[in-house]
Amino acid sequence: MKKRALLYSFLLLGATAFTSCTDMLDKGPLDEFTDSPEFWDNAGMVEGYANAFYNQFKGYGNGSGSGDFYFPSLTDDQVGAGFVNWKFVNVPAASSDWSATWDEIRRSNAMIQSMTQYATTMDAATKNHWIGVARLMRAYQYFDLVRKFGDCTWLEKPLDVDSPELYAKRDDRDVVMDKVLEDLNFAVTNIKEASDKRYWSRDMAQAMKSYICLWEGTFRKYRTAEENGKGPDLEGAKRFLEESVKASEAVMPKYSLCEDYQSIYNSVDLSGNPEVIFYKAYKKDTFGHSTINYTCTSTQMNGMSKDAFDSYLKLDGTLAQQGEDAGVLMTAEFDGKEHVNIQNVFDTRDKRLGQQIDPFLAFPGQAWGRLVGGVAMTASTGYTVSKFDNTSLEVAYREIGAKNYTNAPLYWLAPIYLNFAEAKAELGTITNDDLNKSINLLKKRAGLPAITTAVNLYDPDMEKAGVKNPLIWEIRRERRCELMFDNNFRYWDLIRWHQLHLLDTTTNPDIVLGANIAPANGAIGEVKVNGNYIDASKGDRVYDKKHYLYPIPSGQITLKPELGQNPGW
């Protein structure tokens, strides 16, 4: 395993050696330098080739820039420091969301083809392990392509410049996702067990399958012909949801929740965390990220929204009433200014709230510093994000970009519990025992009472979201609060639940409002307010059904008119 750990550390930095250009028509074979039995019969060389796949898992970022945690702000959980519109407003000429995905699919197909053709003396278990890794990553990329663009061409081999498939029509997205499931099932059957949580393992493949199948099952159940091109497929939804349950159950008994919720996100070593299945390792002064930096320096943060804040239950399991997010003034020792302290709210709410944002509000004119000796912070909504910070690290390794070296969770137990409970609830087969071995364990860690299948908590937001089943609503609430700021889960959850309209700022103003600053007695700094709340809006984001799919880049349609364009674009 030492060899694998070293490969992982260095190939994360140097995986671009395997990375091709971004136009599928403009490159030679990925495997032209490796088409030989000597290469593909050597497990170490195959491993080196496969390690390039690790860059697909962004985690907290690949050295610098943004990652998948905190930074995505096209959501109702955060309000961007600037105006955040839809991912695409107009049809782009080119897009890495399209082209880079095809690069990775081609890399997977090259590995599958070469392993099948050239690995003639490798033992069957090892050979199928590596083919399983390639098929797992092909499934991962096709899933991402389908959820963004819908219909796409299914390919099982790397193409040449004269391959007729380059000019084929797109395949139906349901057919493609059925192929994805075949790849996932091959992977979970053939990828080997591994003790190193930075390495490909059967549990990691099961965790990926758990989420992809939940996503696809709920998407097929809730989609409409008007907004998604075709109506519900209840039989297909049932099949994918059952596969999600199966994958979740394969993983759940092997792991346990850690006691410290925040340690999942701010630890310098996740190898011993009993909850973590697969993680991305960073190393001090060698390979860093900027997630902590962006959440504790003078750059204004994308703060938690009022809508998200209001979703956290009180410790007795009831809904907070309007105005219960108001804080009280106290004198902070940091700079002698008065700040709005909301610790009293944390003391009465879901414990995760106080582990995700700071107890002091910080906004323009009323900045506050979490870093002793560091710069003061502000957030667009007043709610500054503390979830990823590790206060035991030296200040320089917290406030300087690309110097942060805490590990990033990629697959861990909490989302598996959430996938399991939601899939069972959507199937209509969930029991109290199912709840007790999944989300009620999360609720216990959060200091909340357990729920049963007979949950009767009524939330008026259910009607706005179009949800009629109180149990499903509470499972979705638990998912939101547990995975706040994580992996862009929230945006894709709204897509699969058919609730993209909730991101319309003109009809849902709470998603651009922030903290209640009424207790500040008029000393509200330099912010716009809406009633008692910070108004962080910078423009209107108006829902349109076309946003359920990204547009096909116009440059690709020029090259291949048979692709066609997605509805509304």
**C-beta of residue 277 within 8 angstroms of C-beta of residue 264:** no
Is residue 321 in a domain?
A: yes
> Does residue 19 sit in the same domain as residue 105?
yes
Residue 105 has pLDDT above 60, yes or no: yes
Residue 554 and residue 534 share a domain = no
Q: Parallel, antiparallel, or unpaired for β 328-331 and 338-341?
A: antiparallel
The verdict on 11 and 102 lying in the same domain is yes
- pLDDT for 463 equals 86
Tell me whether residue 425 is in a domain: no
DSSP β-bridge partners for residue 404:
289
Check: CB of residue 374 under 8 Å from CB of residue 362: no
How many whole angstroms separate alpha carbon 309 and alpha carbon 487?
19
Mean pLDDT on 215-232: 94
pLDDT band for 65, please (50, 70, 90 cuts).
confident
Asked if residue 185 and residue 80 are part of one domain, the reply reads no
User: Looking at the predicted structure, is the pLDDT value of residue 325 above 80?
Assistant: no
Nearest residue to 321 (alpha-carbon basis) of 294, 303, 345, 343: 345
**Do 50 and 116 reside in the same domain of the chain?**
yes
Count CB-CB contacts under 10 A for residue 274.
12
Residue range 230-269, pLDDT digits in tens:
999 999 999 999 999 999 999 999 999 999 999 999 999 9
Distance of CA 331 to the CA centre of its chain: 38
Higher pLDDT, 320 or 325: 320
pLDDT higher for 345 or 6? 345
% of the chain with per-residue pLDDT over 70: 89
DSSP state letters, 211-277: HHHHHHHHHHHH--HHHHSS---HHHHHHHHHHHHHHHHHHGGG----S-TTHHHH-S--TT-TTEE
How far is Cα of residue 323 from the mean position of the Cα atoms in its chain? Answer: 31
d(CA 476, CA 493) in angstroms, rounded, equals 9
**Residue 382, Ramachandran bin (φ over 0: left; ψ between -120 and 50: alpha; else beta):** left
Q: In terms of domains, do 46 and 168 share one?
A: yes
Which residues form the domain of 36? 1-57+92-192+546-569
Please determine, for residue 287, whether its predicted confidence score (pLDDT) is greater than 70.
yes
Do 140 and 27 reside in the same domain of the chain? yes
Each residue's pLDDT tens digit, 466-493: 899 999 999 999 999 999 999 999 999 9
Q: What is the three-class DSSP state of 181?
A: helix
Q: Are 239 and 375 in contact (CB under 8 A)?
A: no
Contacts of 295 (CB under 8 A, 6+ apart): 70, 301, 384, 385, 386, 387, 388, 389
Q: Higher model confidence: residue 464 or residue 288?
A: 288
pLDDT at 3 over 50: no
- Is residue 75 assigned to a domain? yes
Confidence label for 28 from pLDDT (cuts 50, 70 and 90): very low
Q: Is 296 in the same domain as 159?
A: no
CA angle 240, 241, 243 (to 5 degrees): 65
| pLDDT for the residue 328 | 56
Tokens of 95: 């897009």
Long-range contacts of 343-350 (CB under 8 A, 24+ apart): 348/314, 348/315, 348/324, 349/312, 349/313, 349/314, 349/315, 349/320, 350/312, 350/313, 350/314, 350/315, 350/446, 350/447, 350/448, 350/481
Task: Look at residues 247, 180, 185, 557 and name the one whose alpha carbon lies nearest to residue 415.
Answer: 247
One domain, residues 65 and 106: no
* Residue at 337 is within a domain: yes
Each residue of 371-382: pLDDT tens digit? 876 678 999 999
In a domain, 18, yes or no: yes
Predicted confidence (pLDDT) per residue in 396-442, tens digit: 999 899 999 999 999 999 999 999 999 999 999 999 999 999 999 99
Percent of the chain's residues with pLDDT above 90: 76
In a domain, 207, yes or no: no
Whether 14 is covered by a domain: the verdict is yes
**Residues 563-568, mean pLDDT to the nearest whole number:** 95
pLDDT band at 166 (very low <50, low <70, confident <90, very high): confident
The model's confidence at residue 8, banded by pLDDT at 50, 70 and 90, is very low
Provide mean pLDDT across the span 78-94: 96
Query: 22 pLDDT exceeds 80?
Result: no
Average pLDDT value over all residues in the chain: 89
Residues 6+ apart with CB under 8 A from 501: 507, 543
344 and 374 in a single domain? The answer is: yes
Asked if residue 405 lies in contact with residue 566, where contact means CB atoms within 8 angstroms, the answer is: no
Same domain flag for 333 and 359 = yes
Give the lowest-confidence range in 133-147, 384-398, 476-490, 508-522.
Answer: 508-522
- Report the pLDDT averaged over residues 168-182: 96
Closest Cα to residue 340, out of 401, 282, 387, 381?
381
Predicted confidence at residue 495, as pLDDT, reads 97
> Residue 304: in which H helix or E strand, if any?
strand 303-304
Closest C-alpha among 188, 177, 191, 258 to residue 223:
177
The C-alpha angle 376, 378, 380, rounded to 5 degrees, equals 170
Residue 46 located in a structural domain: yes
Q: How many CB atoms lie within 10 A of CB 213?
A: 27
Same domain (yes/no): 96, 11: yes
List the structure tokens of 42. 């050597």
- The CATH number of whichever domain residue 9 belongs to comes to 1.25.40.890
pLDDT higher than threshold 50 for residue 4? no
Higher-confidence residue of 100 and 336: namely 100
Number of separate domains in the chain: 2
